[in-house]
Chain A
Amino acid sequence: MEYKGCSPRESVQIDQACEKVLTKLECDFVGLALQNTDGPDVKWHYAAGNSNEKYKRITVRYGKGIAGKVISTGRPMYVDNFPENIAGKALEYPIMLAEGLKQAYAVPIHFKGIPKGVLLIGNRSGQPINENRQSTARDAARTLEKKLNG
């Protein structure tokens, strides 16, 4: 099923799911980005632990930014020690800049087997996201996937 937007009740459930991931993984930020249904652009729809509301206005093109890259490749992505260890320019990572993140791990969320969304967990403190936490984030993505697929 393709993402068609959520009812207010479902939105609250997704917000709560993001909060749960934030608590479980003891990270600083959790965000959920979804590809628009009417075009290739990707928008951040839900967040927990956000330090401001900038994420709501951020739209990245398919293949750009962390969310766009994860959706276009269908593979998870780990950014460590931003902006030091990155491919390209810091300006190509808007969500990292908007939330002041140092580390981020992003996992694709599939609809009908096609990557259409991204679950991102991030840290501002500089604490690396180890394999254990990455695995928990992948599990959380699968749970969210089921929720979003109805």
Chain B
Amino acid sequence: METQPAKKNISSYIIQSQEDEIKRIALELHEGVGQTLYSLYTGMQFIQTAVDQPEMKDYIGDMAQMMEKTIQEIRLLAVELHPPALGTLGLLPAMKSYLKLYTSTYGIIVDLQNEGKEVQIRERERITLFRVCQEALANIARYADTMSAGIILRWEPGKLSITIQDKGKGFDVDAAMKNSAGIAAMMERMLLINGRCVISSKIGEGTSIDITLPLY
């Protein structure tokens, strides 16, 4: 798939703006709303100890419990939107953390293998690789009808290759390319960071998604 320079710039701008906005919302939820709720929560606990009426004490206790649940929800939502590990620890720890959540959500076991030593790559590239892997895994949960999948990260001199594979139902790649915006978006995202995304699939045998990124 060729991308014209002007179109490439627009796509890049839209994707980047979307990522920036997601990150901003995640940070705002975690650092802003989450922190304020936590202050309210500790305040309620304080009031609970100061109140003598047993019914009121119980009522405030219930409210504090509800507040605690809400704080947890907000934190999880923020992590789901933009995993903090992606910015601080790198691609591999972020993937490991996401795969735990993925298996406990969809029941699909993912075997993650890492070959070579992770090298520092730019945040924009890390986010793109993470999002493409997320999309590939989401497609496995939706369409592949399989119990397991595998991801291999290969850090080679000058190149990072990631293979996401499953032995599920498989699909007609050409037909899917015309109908699925998700697959086109994966390819487009990789092109925007000068990487490549190749999808191969055989009906009844499974699917393999190979993404590569040159490392300078």
Contact = CB atoms under 8 A, between A and B. Distances in A.
B103 to A, nearest CB: 6
Given A54-B108, A57-B107, 20 more contacts: A40-B72, A52-B107, A53-B107, A54-B147, A56-B107, A58-B105, A58-B106, A58-B107, A59-B105, A60-B105, A61-B73, A62-B69, A91-B138, A91-B141, A91-B142, A94-B105, A94-B107, A94-B141, A98-B107, A100-B145
Interface residues of B, number: 16
Nearest to B107: A54
A57 B141 contact: no
Contacts, number: 41
A54 B76 CA distance: 23
A97 B141 contact: yes
A52 B147 contact: yes
B69 A97 contact: no
Ranked 3 nearest A-B pairs via Cβ: A54-B107, A57-B107, A58-B107
Contacts of B107: 52-58, 94, 98
Interface string A12-40: 00000000000000000000000000001
Interface residues of A, number: 19
Interface of A: 40, 52-63, 90-91, 94, 97-98, 100
Contacts of B141: 91, 94, 97
A61 B104 CA distance: 10
A62 B138 CA distance: 21
A97 B147 contact: no
B139 to A, nearest CB: 10
